Amino acid sequence: MLALAAGLGSTAVALALLWTGDHSQNLRWTLTVVLLIAWLSFAFSAQNRVTFPLRTLSNILAALREGDFSIRARGAREDDVLGEVLREVNSLGETLRQQRLGAVEATALLRKVMEEIDVAVFAFDGTGRLRLVNRAGERILNSTAERLLGRTAHEFGLAECLRGQTPRIEQIAFPGKSGRWEIHRGSFREAGLSHQLLVITDLSRALREEERLVWQRLIRVLGHELNNSLAPIKSVAENLGTILNRGERAPDWEQDMRSGLQIIAARSDSLARFMNAYARLAKLPPPVLQPVDVGTSIRRVVGLEPRLNVELKPGPEIRIQADPDQLEQLLINLLHNAVDAALETGGGVRVGWVQENGNVDVWIQDDGPGIPNPGNLFVPFFTTKPGGSGIGLVLCRQIAEAHGGTLALENRANVHGCEARLRLPVQQ
């Protein structure tokens, strides 16, 4: 209508002049037809020039809305405003096509990973019905996804896994497999609705392998220590038996007997100490948590070391939940080791603490010779000290982990010495 109205005035004036002028009838009708045809032709041409790109644009947007990113607009000119719009829509379609392709490939990769991993994954909607399960989940439930999807966790025995602490380790007998499992639970949103994600990991194989390695290390250490004690006992016992079986004994045979019995007693005591140390390592009680001032505990431990003037670098005043006896025993062991190392080289020892990221880090530095073999630091009964039991650092790490923390020892960079770093959570 606007296109027709744009030419209506000039056409009306031209027709009025034509029919009021002194012209023949044939000329009047001929020019009238020509004027009307030209007016209507240009009006409809202008309409089509505008509506065709808009209709094309509408079709492309409809295709994009339906997820078809292959349609493109043709004939878009650079000197045309509607042409610029069509070119931008074409670029939008290409961008969406690339994003769709990337999403499809990522989804395919995720689906492949979900199928191949040996971890059972379940997803439940807000009503507690199963919406997703992978092959590992099908195996432990001894069923197929077609039979499981849409059913509640209670129907196939996963209701208890959706409750309780997470993560945790439990002994569970599923329809398809029984063993020890690690259970993780989380949540996510899809289409604005909350879902629960349940991940169940089979720990049986890993625990058996770790148990086998632990037994190997333990047998190796126990065998080494027992051989060290039993070999001299056997040798001395044989020598004493030889002395007693002689017809004529040497004048000092009684002295030899006493000396041999003393050796047997000493090695027996050493073996008894070793077994007591093993029992101590295996029977560490759980910590009794109570508020502990970190600075006070460290100052008290530093004051108990008489052999060296330990340099104290105080940090912020912090209180944590810990077992004061176990914490001080841990610090005493670490400080004792640091002083032993520093005395070998005539160096010093420094102790301090800092707070960062919700944790308190207690560090102990020494100027000793460093750690020759860091890989054996936490191996039970391994020691480089004459007369050492080899359980001090193992006990320290057990205490740290029982408090939810970590213990690390490493050589200092570019200088001689070692640094022990104990990290404990400020709040538990």
**pLDDT score recorded for residue 3:** 76
Query: Are 295 and 418 members of one domain?
Result: yes
Q: What is the pTM of this model?
A: 0.44
Predicted confidence band of residue 110 (pLDDT cuts 50, 70, 90): confident
**Residue 363 pLDDT more than 90?**
yes
Query: Are 332 and 409 members of one domain?
Result: yes
Pick the closest to residue 419 from 311, 312, 334 (CA basis): 334
- Mean pLDDT over all residues of the chain? 80
What are the pLDDT digits (tens) for 232-269? 777 878 887 877 777 677 777 778 788 878 878 877 77
In this structure, is residue 13 part of a structural domain? yes
Average of per-residue pLDDT across 334-351:
90
**Residue 347 pLDDT more than 60?**
yes
**DSSP secondary structure, 102-171, as one string:** HHHHHHHHHHHHHHHSSEEEEEE-TTSBEEEE-HHHHHHHTS-HHHHTT-BGGGGT-TGGGSS-SSEEEE
Query: Are 294 and 419 members of one domain?
Result: yes
In this structure, is residue 212 part of a structural domain? yes
Average of per-residue pLDDT across 157-164:
80
Query: Are 56 and 156 members of one domain?
Result: no
What are the pLDDT digits (tens) for 270-318? 677 666 666 665 566 788 889 999 999 999 888 888 888 889 998 998 8
What 8-state DSSP symbol labels residue 308?
S
Q: How many domains does the chain have?
A: 4
Average of per-residue pLDDT across 406-418:
87
| Distance from C-alpha of 353 to C-alpha of 373, rounded to nearest angstrom | 26
Average of per-residue pLDDT across 322-345:
88
In this structure, is residue 398 part of a structural domain? yes
Query: Are 415 and 318 members of one domain?
Result: yes
CATH classification of the domain holding 176: 3.30.450.20
Query: Are 68 and 51 members of one domain?
Result: yes
In this structure, is residue 365 part of a structural domain? yes
Average of per-residue pLDDT across 184-195:
81
**pLDDT score recorded for residue 243:** 77
Last residue of a domain, one of 265, 282, 299: 282
In this structure, is residue 112 part of a structural domain? no
Query: Are 144 and 246 members of one domain?
Result: no
**Residue 45 pLDDT more than 90?**
no
Query: Are 349 and 374 members of one domain?
Result: yes
Query: Are 261 and 379 members of one domain?
Result: no
Domain containing 328 equals 290-425
User: What's the CA angle centered on 404, arms 402 and 409, to 5 degrees?
Assistant: 85
In this structure, is residue 322 part of a structural domain? yes
Last residue of a domain, one of 282, 298, 332: 282
* Surface-to-core class of residue 82, CB atoms within 10 Å of its CB (0-12 exposed, 13-18 middle, 19+ buried): middle
Query: Are 382 and 264 members of one domain?
Result: no
